[in-house]
Structure 1
Amino acid sequence: MTYALPPLNALRAFEAAARHLSFKLAAHELHVTPAAVGQQVKALEARLGVQLFERLHKQLILTAAGQAYLPGVSEGFRHIAEATSQLKPEGVVLLQLGVHASFDLRRLDLAAFRSAHAEIGLRVLQPAGLHELVEGKVDLLIARSLGHHPGYRCDRITERTGLGDWLIAPEGTADCPEIVSFREWLRTVMDAKARASRRPRLVGGVGS
């Protein structure tokens, strides 16, 4: 059977904009520009031959067609996510970790994590960024960021203020056991390194 489906990116733009009732917030979630979201939605409306949103001044409202379309689209994404999650080897949960290019993986001691969590098959993609997380190529991401991404849980892993390293995961999967395990491991490792860096260093010999 051949399914008559609109482009996936257009559906994702519509679904995000419909949840937020905002092209701007949808753009933040999808890591594109509001104009790109608007263009995708407009293209979807043209393809379907119906108007999905009323575009008022500083306000976005779903039309009756949009309200009727949204539950099916959201449910379709949920079924795809569930079917994908079931494609895992028995007894092993696969966890795809993305890491930005300048991050030193030696800081994480991933061999120790794999040894302590044999039930989690950890794979690493480096370099990776928000695009890979949005596209589902990774499950969570260590990114150099300011840590403000609507629709995502962001946990700072460095003590510095402003731009720094954050662990980012979609809110819908941020509390999955494998992601929680990695988050706790990462927090333990980084806290230990922070304590070590604060220890006073002896200069010279004893009694000098």
Structure 2
Amino acid sequence: MDGILVSYRLPPLNGLRAFEAAGRHLSFKLAAQELSVTPGAVSQQIKHLEQILGVPLFQRMPRGLTLTGHGEAMLPTISDAFERMSAAADAVARTLPTKALRLGVSPNLTEDPHGLLAKLANTEQSPDYVQITSTDDVANLLSGALDAILRPGPGPYPGMHAELLNLHQAFSPHAQASLVVWPGLAKCREFLKTRSLLGSPG
């Protein structure tokens, strides 16, 4: 009804994400790989969630995990909620006005003056769908000053969508780099074009 404030009583979202991933995989290790965190971090987040809820969600067995009755009852609803949030974010990202993806590239990837990344960074030679700057400071990504960053090697990058790419040789002598972006932008056309421009999945 109009004029009524609604307050949602929610446990920490990181704990819910860890539970949902671990529940699907029945593995803290696989959940950690999906979320780009350590298995220990997943275990701690789930333990904290269990303390808040006051019930166990998993049984820790010698050969792996099993869901408790509470966990089995909770998992489908939590999975559906994350699917709906992801779909909503994707729908918004696809309707954004066409503009350049603001990509920060690690200086280590632009150090070769003859490499294509160095030529594109801070110049007008970039394709119209990406604006490349020579910086990989995550603070710029978190503040919204950048849409994505490109860094050598794998993550982890908690809370972000990260893809390990085999870079095209023309771009950099480094074999692989992580392309990191906010999850809501992971399917927008500017990001997808930029990913194809830089390399192939690692």
Q: Same fold (TM over 0.5)?
A: yes
**What is the aligned partner in structure 2 of residue 165 from structure 1?**
176
The normalised TM-score by structure 1 is 0.63
- Alignment correspondent of 1:179: 191
Could you list the runs of 5+ residues in structure 2 that have no partner in the other structure? 1-5, 111-116
1:142 maps to what in 2?
A: 150
Matched residue type, 1:126: T
What is the CA-CA distance between 1:21 and the residue it aligns to?
1.3
In 2 relative to 1, CA 52–181 (structure 1 residues): closer, same or farther, beyond 3 Å? same
Q: RMSD value over aligned CA atoms?
A: 4.0
Q: Is contact 1:146-1:164 (8 Å) kept?
A: no
Identity of aligned residues (%): 38
Distance 1:44 1:72 in 2: 16
Instruction: Look up the SS of the partner of 1:102 in the other structure.
Output: helix
Q: How far off is 1:61 after superposition? A: 1.2
- Equivalent residue for 1:71? 76
Matches of 1:80 and 1:128, distance apart in 2? 27
Please say if residues 166 and 199 of structure 2, whose CA atoms lie closer than 8 Å, have aligned partners that are also in contact: no
Deviation at 1:40, TM superposition (A): 0.9
Are 1:38 and 2:43 counterparts?
A: yes
TM-fit CA distance, 1:177: 3.5
SS at 2:10 equivalent: coil
Q: Is contact 1:101–1:128 with CA below 8 Å preserved after alignment? A: no
TM-fit CA distance, 1:65: 1.9
1:103 counterpart residue number: 109
User: How many corresponding residue pairs?
Assistant: 176
Render the CA deviation track for 1:71-122: whole Å, top value 9, x for unaligned: 222222233333334167753267454533533253445744443x3xxx75
Matched, 1:24 2:29: yes
Tell me if the contact between 1:10 and 1:41 (Cα under 8 Å) persists in the aligned partners: yes
User: Larger Rg: 1 or 2?
Assistant: 1
Shift of 1:184: 2.5
CA distance in 1: counterparts of 2:71 and 2:134, whole angstroms: 37
Specify the alignment match of 1:202 in structure 2: none
Q: Distance in 2 between matches of 1:101 and 1:16?
A: 34
What are the equivalent positions in structure 2 for 1:123-138 lying under 5 Å apart?
A: 126-128=135-137
Higher relative contact order (CA 8 A, sep 6+): 2
Q: Which runs of 5+ in 1 are unaligned?
A: 189-208
Q: 1:187 to 1:155 in 2, by over 3 A?
A: closer
Structure 1 letter corresponding to 2:190: E
